[in-house]
Amino acid sequence: MNNFLQHCRDLIGERYVLTDIDQQAVYLSEWRQRRKGKACAVLLPANTEQVAGLVKLCSERRIAITPQGGNTGLVFGSIPDSSGAAVLLSLKRLNQVRQVDIDNNTMTVEAGCLLNVIQNTADQHQRLFPLSLASEGSCTIGGNLSTNAGGTAVLRYGNTRELCLGLEVVTAEGHIWNGLRSLRKDNTGYDLRDVFIGAEGTLGIITAAVLKLFPKPTSVVTAFISLDNVENALQLLHLMQRYHADSLTAFELINSCSLELVLQHIPQVSRIFYEKTAYYVLLELSNTDTFDNSSRKLESSIEIAFNQALIRDAAIAQTLSQAANCWKTRESISEAQARQGKNIKHDVSLPISRIAEFVKVCDAALSTAYPGCQLVTFGHLGDGNLHYNVSPPIEISSEIFLEKQCEVNRVVHDLVHQFDGSISAEHGIGELKKDELQRYKSPVELAMMRQIKSALDPHNLMNPGKIF
Amino acid sequence: MNNFLQHCRDLIGERYVLTDIDQQAVYLSEWRQRRKGKACAVLLPANTEQVAGLVKLCSERRIAITPQGGNTGLVFGSIPDSSGAAVLLSLKRLNQVRQVDIDNNTMTVEAGCLLNVIQNTADQHQRLFPLSLASEGSCTIGGNLSTNAGGTAVLRYGNTRELCLGLEVVTAEGHIWNGLRSLRKDNTGYDLRDVFIGAEGTLGIITAAVLKLFPKPTSVVTAFISLDNVENALQLLHLMQRYHADSLTAFELINSCSLELVLQHIPQVSRIFYEKTAYYVLLELSNTDTFDNSSRKLESSIEIAFNQALIRDAAIAQTLSQAANCWKTRESISEAQARQGKNIKHDVSLPISRIAEFVKVCDAALSTAYPGCQLVTFGHLGDGNLHYNVSPPIEISSEIFLEKQCEVNRVVHDLVHQFDGSISAEHGIGELKKDELQRYKSPVELAMMRQIKSALDPHNLMNPGKIF
């Protein structure tokens, strides 16, 4: 082991091989302090060649590697187990924007670049990099790619997978694959890029990527709408897509319970409608039209929705601060929940045509099994993705209710499965959901996943214990 | 062998196991009659279970399988070799649209569905399935998926890969993988879907797919523009993207030589501009606005381009027949070339920022090496995809010039590689380009491709001799 550590030091420099427990701590704790791991060393390489050198060393000695980006994941995917046998390999020093190619609408970035650095760099070049999520100030693009992150702009721009044209990867054997292509069309063999995207570091280490950029919208119009049920929200979605097609860039659902939680716990957020309804929708149109044109078009489609009795009320934000208040409402739900106390979370997706029925059936099943439980339902309705969270009845403490976590998961996930949905829409599997994966994936699919894992990582050294 | 054929007959019925050479002929000849293969039987299963049963039989007896859709490919990917040892498995009887889910904007189709049947079905439901290519009346979606087909709408909607949410696949072992998910977000394990898409039938057989549908545009505006060089065409592309963003659904380049060929050989096409220029662009805006609004916006952006001296002349189609004439011009280039005589074809893609330089350098290299050669350059400029074809000098016959094919390919492909491009943008590798693949792909990437091939098809029975 000492010999191994000395080789690591020779390769990347003494100060970048952390063996001191205090120095290691921040890398080995999940950010919500729900999980701690151990590592024989935390390694901080500076570039792709150093990553490849370290992986080769580990491969020769059969030492497992957990790669880590911003350590902002929600499924314990970037924390090693508690044996202390693995190394943690942080990509955070690979943080260069290697190239911005304006005329190709692409940007080549290293895995450790923070998402908001990438967003800002695009913006400075009058371009949009649309991936946007709550942790954008601390998550890295390598993590976003490895988990195929979702966020609030998937409706129009797709998941991280759809935003990437090429990858650079260090394979499990320590070879560097230069797949940094910046092409819109390339049909020369198997799609290795998409094998590594979403693989959660279990097949190799993504060290750099070519990202797609988009024209920067010239107008963004935000509206907050109140309505009675999920069915109407879905009808509104279809109506908005018919009238605005791709200009519709966000369509978020917020139920009454979520909204009231925010208003109770987040003082910066102000109430938009005084009449309370069961559900609300936050929607956004963005395009290259003027604000006035866009706003007028939105108004007329809202009027149609109103005449069809789909909605109760609607407010189109007229100022940046009104728009910010709408988004702050949506984005504060997690924080408001945390202030209220722990609850049981789900990150599910469903065919959009089946969401209304799913919510009805699942709400009923939970209310019967746990009378008085509070359903904190919100999410990216336009993508069929709900954060379907369950808070305890008022008279029961979080701690006692959380003992029911497995039971509640079973009710929700069994129904999701029955409705042809996914038990992990955007958070991945990591270590947290690997048992659930075994339960719901078909044996044929699991077998193929294992075949690919064995082919590309025969000694099971890349992030072992995750996904499988 | 007789025993094997009898098992096939028992499984799918006597009349669907073709062993007569005349009956087999249409399946075993490439459609342009450039290649013929042999098969011990042509098998025509009716459904996924029958496909699985046949694959299991073949797997047990180590009999190779070449799957086939519409047999419209350009790289000899769906014709078995001349040994007669393999079976040809046609998917054409799996031709049912299984489900249209309007509220989810998805359609579930079997692999043998013709592309234009899918387009028409979407249209009947007021939706758009945007994949569009010359062979849409005879190609099947299974073939489109297996080759990740491109076409004229990639700029806005992506390749076939981006139009598919889920797959049903018969694995090399004859198991049925039901991956027919219709979700916009699903992060539960490896992306097997994209492993099979574009694999040209070498890993398993796609039997059905869930496709994405889009809102049907309410207005389509077509324009034909003349200009002096590729550089200006690219500046025009950027300007149009800035003003129209996603409304810009097609941006096709046509050089002078291509246009004159069409006007000479295709009597239905009429000349649009009397002043001849070196290049032309066909562009299309489609969206949910009115035709008048869209047309007005296009006019004002064209005016800007004119004032910046990017373009020489422009015509916005005012009638359907004018628009049809623009598209007929573009779509007749291949036919016009065929009437003129054979030429040497390339299907390349480049970073959009490097196309102008590539064309300049490659044109010069070819004109020096083959004085008087005619460059038939056209393609999907918005995607960086050129069909860069080389016709013989007027005084040299096609037959003599075609002897130079390998040399010409080398000049073009070496330059494409040097400019970070792809030697197969949308046609795939098949058997035709497998030597080129070995030349230009990195050993690391080829090794990973082989690892995946061995993992999923250990006995090399799925379309052997293709890609590798």
Nearest CB to B445; choose among A147, A177, A445? A177
**Shortest Cα distance, chain A CAs vs residue B424, angstroms:** 5
CA R_g for chain B? 23
Question: Pseudo-torsion of CA A4, A7, A8, A12, nearest 10°?
Answer: 180
CATH topology for the B341-427 domain: Alpha-Beta Plaits (3.30.70)
Q: Please report residues of B whose CB lies closer than 8 A to that of A101.
A: 351, 353
Q: How many CB pairs under 8 A join A and B?
A: 258
> Across the strands, what pairs with B210?
B108, B166
pLDDT value of position B1: 77
Residue of B nearest to A348 (CA): B186
CB contact under 8 A, B184 and A147: no
Q: 3-state DSSP call for residue B343?
A: coil
Backbone angles phi, psi at A19, to 5 degrees: -120, -10
Contacts (Cβ under 8 Å, ≥6 apart) of A10: none
Q: Which percentage of chain A shows pLDDT scores above 70?
A: 100
In this complex, the residue of A101, A185, A451 whose CB is nearest that of residue B383 is: A185
Cβ of A145 under 8 Å from any chain B Cβ? no
Which CATH number applies to B219-330: 3.50.80.10, 3.40.50.720, 1.20.1260.10, 3.30.70.2190? 3.30.70.2190
**pLDDT tens across A122-154, in order?**
999 999 999 999 899 999 999 999 999 998 899
Of the candidates B147, B154, B175, the beta carbon closest to that of A184 is on B154
The answer to whether the Cβ–Cβ distance between A103 and B426 falls below 8 Å is no
The per-residue pLDDT for B288 is: 84
The closest of A140, A103, A135, A105 to A211, measured between CA atoms, is A105
Residue A187 has its nearest CB partner, among B242, B427, B455, at B427
Please give the pLDDT value at position B234. Answer: 97
Interface of A with B in 190-229 (CB under 8 A): 190-192, 194-195, 197-199, 203, 214-215, 217
Higher pLDDT, A292 or A33: A292
CATH level 3 topology of B2-90:
3.30.43
Task: State how far the Cα of A278 lies from the Cα of A288, in Å rounded to an integer.
Answer: 34
pLDDT of A252: 96
Pick the CATH number of A97-215 from 3.20.20.70, 3.30.465.10, 3.40.50.620, 3.40.50.970: 3.30.465.10
Tell me what pLDDT residue A34 has.
Answer: 83
Long-range contacts of A270-274 (CB under 8 A, 24+ apart): A270/A325, A272/A224, A272/A315, A272/A325, A272/A326, A272/A329, A273/A224, A273/A226, A273/A312, A273/A313, A273/A315
Span B283-288, mean pLDDT?
92
Are the beta carbons of B104 and A353 separated by less than 8 Å? yes
| Digit-coded pLDDT (tens) for A186-225 | 999 999 999 999 999 999 999 999 999 999 999 999 999 9
Q: In chain A, which residues fall in CATH 3.30.70.2740?
A: 341-427
Q: What is the mean pLDDT of residues A96-105?
A: 97
Contact call for B161 and A385, based on CB within 8 A: no
Does B191 contact A161 at a Cβ distance shorter than 8 Å?
A: yes
- Residue with tokens 């080789």, as numbered in its chain: A7
Spatial distance between the Cα atoms of B68 and B77, rounded to a whole number of angstroms: 9
Q: Is A304 on the interface with B (CB under 8 A)?
A: no
pLDDT value of position B134 = 86
Does the beta carbon of A272 lie under 8 angstroms from any beta carbon of chain B? no
Mutate to test the interface with B, among A176, A184, A296 (most CBs of B within 10 A): A184
Chain-chain contact of A354 with B245 (C-beta, under 8 angstroms): no
Separation between Cα atoms, residue B153 and residue B250, nearest integer Å: 6
A276 vs A366: CA distance, rounded Å: 23
* Contact yes or no for A444 and B350 at CB 8 A: no
**Residues within 8 A of B (CB atoms), A 9-48 only:** none
Q: What pLDDT, on the 0 to 100 scale, is given for residue B28?
A: 97
pLDDT category at A2 given cuts 50, 70, 90 is confident
Quickly count: other Cβ atoms within 10 Å of residue B264's Cβ.
Answer: 12
Query: Given B194, B238, B440, which is nearest A103 (Cβ)?
Result: B238
- Chain B interface test: which of A105, A127, A133, A186 (most B C-beta within 10 Å): A186
Instruction: List the beta bridge partners of residue A380.
Output: A385
CA angle at A168 for the pair A165 and A172, rounded to the nearest 5°: 130
Q: Is the pLDDT of residue B461 over 80?
A: yes
Of B177, B183, B203, Cβ closest to residue A384: B183
Tens digits of residue pLDDT in B40-82: 999 999 999 999 999 999 999 999 999 999 999 999 999 999 9
State the span(s) of chain A assigned CATH 3.30.70.2190. 219-334
Nearest residue to B445 via CA among A224, A191, A142: A191
Q: Where in chain A is the domain with CATH 3.30.465.10?
A: 97-215
B250 touching A, CB under 8 A? no
CATH 3.30.70.2190 in chain B, residues? 219-330
Using an 8 Å CB-CB cutoff, list chain B residues near A434: none
Mean pLDDT over A47-57 rounds to 98
Summarised one tens digit per residue, pLDDT across range A431-443 is 999 999 999 999 9
Summarize pLDDT for A282-341 with one digit per residue, the tens.
999 998 889 999 999 999 999 999 999 999 999 999 999 999 999 999 999 988 998 988
Plot region of A248 (φ>0 → left; ψ -120 to 50 → alpha; else → beta)? beta
State yes or no: pLDDT of A1 exceeds 80. no
A419 touches chain B (CB under 8 A): no
Confidence of residue B115 (pLDDT cuts 50, 70, 90): very high
Q: Does B87 touch chain A (CB under 8 A)?
A: no
Neighboring chain B residues of A440 at a CB cutoff of 8 Å: 188
Assign B21 a pLDDT band (cuts: 50, 70, 90).
very high
CB contact under 8 A, B444 and A197: no
Position A31 confidence tier, pLDDT thresholds 50, 70, 90 = confident
Q: Which residues of A82-104 are buried (b: 16+ CB within 10 A; e: fewer)?
A: eeeebbbbbbbbbbeeeebbeeb
Question: Which of A182, A244, A351 comes nearest B420 by C-beta?
Answer: A182
A66 CB within 8 Å of a chain B CB: no
Residue of B nearest to A107 (CA): B351
Distance from CA of B140 to the nearest CA of A (A): 18
Nearest chain A residue to B445 by CA distance is A177
pLDDT number for residue B245: 86
pLDDT at A381: 96
- Burial per residue of B207-227, b for 16 or more beta-carbon CB atoms within 10 angstroms, e otherwise: bbbbbbbbbbbebbbbbbbbb
User: Are the beta carbons of A441 and B188 separated by less than 8 Å?
Assistant: yes
Tell me the chain B residues in contact with residue A296 when contact means C-beta distances shorter than 8 Å. Answer: none
For residues B248-277, average pLDDT: 96
Contact (CB, 8 A) for A334 and A216:
no
Contact criterion met (CB < 8 Å) for A385 and B424? no
Testing the interface with A: which of B48, B168, B186 to mutate, by most A Cβ within 10 A?
B186
Mean local confidence (pLDDT), B128-145: 96
- Name the residue facing B189 among A241, A245, A437 (closest C-beta): A437
pLDDT for position A32: 79
> What is the architecture, at CATH level 2, of domain A219-334?
2-Layer Sandwich (3.30)
Assess whether pLDDT exceeds 80 at residue B317: yes
Mean pLDDT rounded to a whole number for chain A = 96
Q: Which of residues 46-65 of B touch A (CB under 8 A)?
A: none
pLDDT at residue B327, rounded to an integer: 95
Which pLDDT band, with edges at 50, 70 and 90, does B34 fall under?
confident
| pLDDT bracket for residue A118 (50, 70, 90) | very high
For the record, the structure tokens of B231 come out as 């550089």
Q: Smallest Cβ distance to B162: which of A162, A421, A441?
A: A162
Q: What percent of chain B has pLDDT over 90?
A: 93
